[in-house]
Structure 1
């Protein structure tokens, strides 16, 4: 006796959850580092607060360094003095060391 053929919409045994598929895709294309950098830039306001974010003109990552352009000289001075603390807060938010240095412009 012949088994009935499965319908085209039937679930196959080799299917995986979407989360695992996306993680495999990120690993395959080696996008993990860039994805971490983008999420770090996106979390700048949450980590540093609204007041600092309002005085921030530009935030970007290049070659493992985070560059932050500020519109306030006194704020820039304060952040330069607390550079290691800012670096620790940002890397703690990312869960891994994404940037090795912060440069305030």
Structure 2
């Protein structure tokens, strides 16, 4: 049976508890990582980004530009660090550029 929540608490606390109890964190991380990519990479990269998908701890990014893919491949470690800082926890451990 579900645990009853007290009526005294902020909405953010209640939502965090709801997400935790119902094991929705991985789904929320998928959405948050996609948003973090868009915020960090800017309009130039987002123009050529077709798809951003998080599977486990691997971030798959589909790009329409081979030149951009090659350029981003040199900075994978930096991108991983920036995304994890944006998320506030270690979500991404590796990136696959396609």
- Normalised by the size of structure 1, how large is the TM-score? 0.81
Q: Highest Rg: 1 or 2?
A: 1
Of stretches 38-47 and 67-76 in structure 1, the one that deviates more from structure 2 is 38-47
1:9 aligned residue: none
Work out whether residues 37 and 98 of structure 1, in 8 Å CA contact, stay in contact via their aligned partners in 2: no
Give 5+ residue unaligned stretches, structure 1.
Answer: 1-13
Which runs of structure 1 show a deviation greater than 6 angstroms over 4 or more consecutive aligned residues?
Answer: none
1:38 aligned residue: 31
- Normalised by the size of structure 2, how large is the TM-score? 0.86
Q: How many residues align?
A: 92
Report the structure, 1 or 2, having the larger helix content.
Answer: 2
CA offset at residue 63 of structure 1?
A: 2.0
